[in-house]
Amino acid sequence: MTQAQEANDLALLDLLQAELEEGIFNYALEEAENLYDEDDDEILRALHWSVGTSVYVVVINPLGFIKSLFSMSPDDAEDGELGGIPDDLVLQITNTILSFTHETANEKDDRGE
């Protein structure tokens, strides 16, 4: 991965994260960490969403594809197991990413690109 590709991936992930933070109200974004996927040679972002004592992790790539999602509630962490993720969080994330993608495409069309 070149420095230009890395900068581009990080910029896209920053945009997606900002959209998700703005669009999701009933979960709090507690942490965001960058990961490197050696197989696909791309940077991923793990977003740690919380509500109450539950923490849900969603890993996205720069194009907005969900690479992984799981829960790390206190009970799951003690057992060393990964739990499920609420349907409403998955729905909010996918809808926000789809809306952002469509808005971005429409802006590009309006500029004649």
pTM: predicted TM-score of the whole model, two decimal places: 0.84
Q: Where are the domains of the chain?
A: 3-110
> To the nearest whole number, what is the mean pLDDT of the chain?
88
106 — pLDDT class (breaks 50, 70, 90): confident
Phi, then psi, of 4 in degrees rounded to 5: -65, -45
Instruction: Please identify, in words, the CATH class of the domain defined by 3-110.
Output: alpha beta
Give the Cα separation of 107 and 82 in Å (integer): 39
At 50, the amino acid letter reads: S
Measured between its terminal Cα atoms, the distance across the chain in Å is: 27
Summarize pLDDT for 77-97 with one digit per residue, the tens: 555 555 688 999 999 999 999
E strands within the chain? 28-37, 42-51, 54-60, 66-71
